[in-house]
Amino acid sequence: MADDAAAGGFAQRLGVRVEEADDGSARIVFEAREEHLNPAGTLHGGVLATLVDTAMGTAVRTATGDDDVPATSQLTVTYLRPGKPGPLEVTARVRTRGEHLTVCEADVEQDGRAIGHAVATFALLHP
């Protein structure tokens, strides 16, 4: 996958950018703006969940065959501290790849501090 490429679909509409994606890992960047905040003034949890899901899905696609379609079957997000407007970076890596399931994890950082951690299981569909 080319560096500095836009993500597709919903993530692209949010402004997610894929910086790196290769060999079972991915790094995406995102600029959180006022429109991404919840009523408490912090980054909405659904935005953070989208970011980790996007990064992990991108990482999985670099470790699977062209005929495999990864689909998120389980996602656990741990919110470590509130996010705020400004740049975020999400790094994701495949932890275990099986024949039908792949497990990934991701870390979210803002201003050099961890704000979230996620683990997901992806089913590998063969349409």
pLDDT value at residue 67 = 85
- Average pLDDT over the chain, rounded to an integer: 92
The secondary structure of residue 43, as a DSSP letter, is B
Q: Name which of 123, 7, 126, 124 is nearest 55 in CA terms.
A: 7
49 contacts: CB under 8 Å, gap ≥ 6: 75, 77, 118
Residue pointed to by tokens 């407007």: 85
Closest to 116 (Cα-Cα) out of 34, 44, 40: 44
Please report the pLDDT score of residue 2 as a whole number: 42
Close Cβ partners of 13 (under 8 Å, ≥ 6 residues apart): none
Instruction: Read off the pLDDT of residues 104-127 as tens digits, 9 standing for 90 and up.
Output: 999 999 999 999 999 999 999 987
Instruction: Work out the pLDDT band at 6, boundaries 50, 70, 90.
Output: low
CB 117 within 8 A of CB 78: yes
DSSP-assigned beta bridge partners for residue 104: 94, 120
CA atoms lying within 13 Å on the CB side of residue 51: 35
Please give the pLDDT value at position 13: 84
110 and 83 Cβ atoms separated by less than 8 Å: yes
